[in-house]
Structures are given as C-alpha cells and as structure tokens.
Amino acid sequence: MKVLVDTCVWSQLLRKAAKENDPIVLELNELIKEYRVQMIGPIRQELLSGIKTNKQFLLLKKHLRSFSDLEIKTEDYETAAQMSNACRRKGVQGSHIDFLICAVADRYDLAIFTIDADFELYRRYIPVKLYKLGKRALG
C-alpha cells in the first residue's frame, strides 16, 4: 500500500541531526526505496517554508521534485471540512492541513505515516488509516 507521509516525518529525515539509526528515518528511507511514498502540495509547501538559505531551498525543492503531488479535488476540501466539524463536535481540534491530509488519504485509500499524536485522536471520529512503524502495514 502507498503511504502519505506527513510533514513531521519528512522533517525528521531532513534534520541535520538526524541519526542513521533513527527508526523513523530508516522506515521512510525504505518506503522511498519501495516507491510507496505519496506527496501532496500542502506538505511540500510546509517542508519548503522556513528554509534559511536560498541554496538549501533550491536543493530541497530539487529533491522533493522526485515525488509528484497527488491531485487534490474540491471534494477533498469539503471532506476535510466535514472531518474537522465531526472532530470539533467531539472536542477534538486540528489544523486544516491535518484534515486535508486525512481527506486525501481516505479518497486515495492511503495510510498516513505520521508521528503527530493528534491523528490518533482524529481516528476516533473519522476514517483514518495510520501507517505503523516497522510493520510495513496499516494501523
């Protein structure tokens, strides 16, 4: 199964202090080698935002170009809003990007690879498949 990788996981890989034995980094590298990684524009934007130098920006942009963006449709934004509303009614709040990730992943039947604990809260109230570290399968 293909996996939509959240910004926080990418950030773990991209940190200068990333450790070679970090299980998250190792898992993401394996998913990349297996051509299972999926990207959406908002995650790309988050990754490229806040880069300190133009040289670093251009290098990261070049590397990320290896991953095409999945198409985001109007219905994805509408579904994301519904998901946000469903969670909010239960007292769970999240970012617009988080719910867009959930909506796109649901439509494409993707697991989400994240280390953001908020997604565990979302999955109580909306359909969310989480990628389990080391399991190479769904949560």
Whether residue 86 contacts residue 102, with contact meaning beta carbons closer than 8 Å, is answered with no
Q: What is the pLDDT of residue 136?
A: 47
Measured in degrees and rounded to the nearest 5, phi and psi for residue 14 equal -85, -10
Q: What is the pLDDT of residue 106?
A: 98
Cross-strand bridge partners of residue 132: 137
Question: What predicted TM-score, i.e. pTM, was given to this entire model?
Answer: 0.92
CATH assignment of 3-138, among 3.40.50.1010, 3.40.228.10, 3.90.180.10, 3.30.310.10: 3.40.50.1010
Mean pLDDT in each 10-residue stretch from start to end of the chain (139 residues)? 96 78 92 97 96 95 97 98 98 98 98 97 97 63
Q: How many Å apart are CA 126 and CA 97, to the nearest integer?
A: 15
Q: What is the pLDDT of residue 133?
A: 84
Cross-strand bridge partners of residue 21: none
